[in-house]
Amino acid sequence: MTAMLEMRNVSKSFAGVQALRDVNFSVHAGQIHALVGENGAGKSTLMKVLSGVYPHGSYEGTIIFEGEERRFRDINDSEALGIIIIHQELALIPLMSIAENIFLSHPPSKLGVIDRDEVYRRTRELLAQVGLKESPDTLITDLGVGKQQLVEIAKALSKRVRMLILDEPTASLNEADSAALLERLMVFREQGIGSILISHKLNEVAKVADHITVLRDGRTVDSIDCHAEPIQEDRIIRSMVNRDMAHRFPERSVKIGEPVLDVANWSVYHPVHPERQVIKNVNFGVRRGEVVGIAGLMGAGRTEFAMSLFGRSWGTNISGSLRLEGREMALPSVAAAIDAGLAYVTEDRKQLGLILADDVRKNITLASLDQVAPGRVIDDIAELKVASDYRSRMRIRCSDVYQETGQLSGGNQQKVVLSKWLMTDPKVLILDEPTRGIDVGAKYEIYCIINELAEAGRGVVVISSEMPELLGICDRICVMNDGAFVGEFKGAEATQEKIMRAIMRNERSIGNAAPAAAEMGGSQP
């Protein structure tokens, strides 16, 4: 049997960062091919190369589809051949009906007038095919996420589908919806459609996949034929995470003191869907001089947890107790949280952390203007001195503190954000993905800063999706999944496999054993 799709020696790099290296990947007709790997392993990049989001010429290697070499200029080229990608973030227009969404780009029409009868007839057919019992008139916004996913698939089927790519389709679905979706995939397999399934949920992968490819750091590291050999979960996990520690971590003398932050029975609900509990009665603590990591996959609730602590800047109906240095604190606003000695360095420095059009100086002093403004009037010389001081201490590379922050590199921007929060003199710093999008050298500098903070007796919480980073810098690692802590390891004992296993075990048990997992999590040291 020859492959329907073959990707040969595909390499792709972004501004010096190698995202894919010599990846070989093939899918047969009527095959479900699972693609697994950590966040940032290159799965999405590979799929974007395949679907033409990255046009021919921007990557190396060849794509052979149905026997011919293909050079896609954009996503329309790949769609024309029946390669349809369904993204994790759904691309539906909420205030349009199911029918309007399905036939958004090519509605059946006569002389330019949309043929409504035909639209409805075909929509009903497609909805029956994906097993969705809804009227074509229903607005997308009135559907749950699971049903929206099915509409996306119906939309894909309205075109000629030869190969369906699903990027974590069940990430936001409940057990029943996930099962229904996987059923659907198996029906498509019968019809000879090839599918690529990107998923973190190994139990699902084990259920439906014919073949599994594991990506790590942009390379294919394992390829498993599920019919030839039994699926060993441990083998997959090991392949996913086992890498040589490419970058080193600075040494630190650890001196852990009394608890500084103590959170108990913390629970947070979604701001838009107030019935959804996002953080499920968790306990969490940091001591002076301690670096605590929070591991987990995207969407595990780590950022939501951190932001809800930081002056309730995320979520609604927040309950639980928060103690700073033993004192119970209410912290109803960000200003109160800052005053109390809490700092949160956001994962999205461009959107949430910096005012890019403003200069370095203004960004550094923004959260603590009172320190340089006696009587609410800014002493510009004092401000300049403070800013210059941080500039040299943090080794921010800029022409001077009047340079626009938008012009700095990612690493230097991050140092500006860190300076801003250091200036507030926090007792506890929560760093959310502090090294995302930063080159290796700047990463090392950020690790040094984290060490200095801990040595100065502050409590540091690091949220990161890069497990080696957590292993390299943390004294303790808590694993979060689905809004609860599902494991906790001492820095020395933790391994990537243990962490990944804690997440995967929990992924499998979500739905029937979530309360038990919540009890397990976050026990105090």
Partner 1 sequence: MTDKTVSLPEERRHGSFIKNNLRNYGMLMSLVAIMLFFQVVTGGTLLQPLNLTNLVLQNSYIVIMALGMLLVIVTGHIDLSVGSVAGFIGAVAAVLMVTYKVDYTLAFIACLLVGAAIGAAQGYWVAYFKIPSFIVTLAGMLVFKGLALAVLQGQSLGPFPPTFQKLSSGFIPELLPEAGTLHPTSMLIGAVLALGLVYASAKGRSREQSHGIEVEPYAFFLGKSILLACAVLYFTYLIASHRGLPNVLVIMTALIALYGFVTRRTVIGRQIYAVGGNAKAASLSGIKTERLTFLTFVNMGALAALAGLVFAARLNTATPKAGLGFELDVIAACFIGGASAYGGVGRVGGAVVGAMIMGVMNNGMSILGIGIDYQQVIKGLVLLGAVCIDVYNQRR
Instruction: List residues near partner 1 by CB under 8 A.
Output: 310-311, 313, 333-335, 337-338, 344, 346, 351-358, 362, 366-367, 369-370, 373, 376-378, 380-381, 384-385, 420
Smallest separation, CB 336 to partner 1 (Å) = 8
Smallest separation, CB 347 to partner 1 (Å) = 11
Smallest separation, CB 458 to partner 1 (Å) = 18
Nearer to partner 1 among residue 208 and residue 337 (C-beta): 337
Tell me if 244 sits within 8 A of 232, measured CB to CB. no
How far apart (Å, rounded) are the C-alpha atoms in residues 11 and 87? 22
Nearer to partner 1 among residue 357 and residue 492 (C-beta): 357
- AA identity, residue 44: S
Smallest separation, CB 315 to partner 1 (Å) = 14
DSSP run (H or E) holding 392: helix 380-393
Nearer to partner 1 among residue 292 and residue 372 (C-beta): 372
Smallest separation, CB 476 to partner 1 (Å) = 26
Nearer to partner 1 among residue 256 and residue 356 (C-beta): 356
Establish how many alpha carbons lie within 13 A of residue 69's alpha carbon, considering only the half-sphere containing its beta carbon. 5
Nearer to partner 1 among residue 58 and residue 333 (C-beta): 333
Beta strand spans in 239-337 (E) = 259-269, 277-287, 291-295, 316-324, 327-329
**Cα 387 from chain centroid (whole Å):** 33
Nearer to partner 1 among residue 278 and residue 337 (C-beta): 337
Establish how many alpha carbons lie within 13 A of residue 280's alpha carbon, considering only the half-sphere containing its beta carbon. 21
Nearer to partner 1 among residue 285 and residue 353 (C-beta): 353
DSSP of 477-502, one letter per residue?
EEEEETTEEEEEEETTT--HHHHHHH
Tell me the sheet residues that pair with 291.
460
Smallest separation, CB 303 to partner 1 (Å) = 12
Smallest separation, CB 279 to partner 1 (Å) = 18
**Beta-carbon count within 10 A of 413 CB:** 25
Backbone angles phi, psi at 321, to 5 degrees: -115, 140
The SS3 of residue 83 is strand
